[in-house]
C-alpha cells in the first residue's frame, strides 16, 4: 500500500500539493468573511475541490488511459483501481475535513454532516465522470475541457439550467441542511456508483 501511494504521488507531481494550497487560502477566506456568508464559503469549497478531484483522478490514471500502454498497464491496475481511489479520497479529505471543522467553528448555523455527505458524493460522481470521459476519448485535455465548461455553465446559470444535471449546491439564500441536500446527495451517489460500473465495463 505504501509503495502504491508513493507511485501515485509521483504521477500527480505538483498537483499533489494543491489541496494544501487551497486549504491555506480557504482558511484565510473563512476567518475573513462576515458571519452571515457561510453559503458563500460552501459554494467556494465546492468550486475549488471538485475541479481538483477531476484533475487528480485523470492524472492518477494517466499511465493507464493516456499513454497508449493500456494492455501492459492493465496487468497492474486491474487489482488496484479501488485501492488507488480509496487512498486518493482519504488524502484529499484530510484538508477538506479540516476546513469543514474550521467552518463549523466560525459559523454557528453551519451543519457538518450534510456538507460532508454532499462533498463525498460530489467527489465520487465527478471522479467517475472524469474517468469515463478519459476512457472514451483517450485524451486528458478533452475531459478537463468538458468539466470546466460544465462548471462554467453551472456558474453562469447558478444551477438553474434545465438542460444540465446539477451536482452542486449553489443556493446563497437557504442554509445547507439534510432536508435540502439528501435528494441531491443520493442522486450523486447513485449516478456515481452506476458510472463506476460503466467505467469498469469500458476498460475490461
- Taking each helix axis from N to C end, the angle separating 2-12 and 81-106, rounded to the nearest 10 degrees, works out to 70
- Mean pLDDT, residues 164-180: 84
Q: How far is the CA of 20 from the CAs of 14, 27, 38, 138, in angstroms?
A: 11, 10, 21, 29
Domain residue limits at 35: 2-203
Name the pTM for this structure: 0.86
pLDDT at 76 over 60: yes
- Reported as a pLDDT band with limits 50, 70 and 90, residue 6 is low
| Residue that wins the pLDDT comparison between 48 and 172 | 48
Q: Are 62 and 138 in contact (CB under 8 A)?
A: no
pLDDT at 11 over 70: no
Q: Are 33 and 40 in contact (CB under 8 A)?
A: yes
The number of domains in the chain is: 1
Amino acid at each position: 500500500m505504501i509503495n502504491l501511494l508513493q507511485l501515485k504521488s509521483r504521477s500527480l507531481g505538483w498537483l499533489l500539493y494543491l489541496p494544501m494550497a487551497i486549504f491555506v487560502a480557504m482558511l484565510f477566506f473563512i476567518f475573513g468573511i462576515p458571519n452571515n456568508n457561510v453559503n458563500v464559503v460552501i459554494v467556494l469549497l465546492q468550486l475549488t475541490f471538485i475541479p481538483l478531484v477531476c484533475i487528480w483522478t485523470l492524472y492518477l490514471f494517466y499511465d493507464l488511459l493516456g499513454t497508449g500502454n493500456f494492455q501492459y498497464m492493465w496487468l497492474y491496475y486491474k487489482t488496484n483501481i479501488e485501492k488507488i481511489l480509496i487512498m486518493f479520497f482519504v488524502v484529499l479529505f484530510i484538508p477538506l475535513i479540516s476546513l469543514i471543522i474550521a467552518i463549523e467553528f466560525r459559523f454557528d448555523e453551519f451543519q457538518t454532516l450534510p456538507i460532508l455527505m454532499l462533498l463525498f458524493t460530489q467527489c465520487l460522481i465527478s471522479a467517475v465522470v472524469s474517468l469515463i470521459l478519459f476512457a472514451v476519448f483517450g485524451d486528458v485535455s478533452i475531459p478537463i475541457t468538458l468539466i470546466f465548461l460544465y462548471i462554467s455553465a453551472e456558474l453562469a446559470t447558478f444551477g438553474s439550467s434545465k438542460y444540465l444535471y446539477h451536482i452542486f449546491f449553489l443556493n446563497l439564500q437557504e442554509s445547507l441542511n439534510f432536508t435540502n441536500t439528501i435528494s441531491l446527495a443520493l442522486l450523486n451517489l447513485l449516478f456515481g456508483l452506476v458510472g463506476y460500473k460503466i467505467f469498469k465495463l469500458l476498460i475490461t
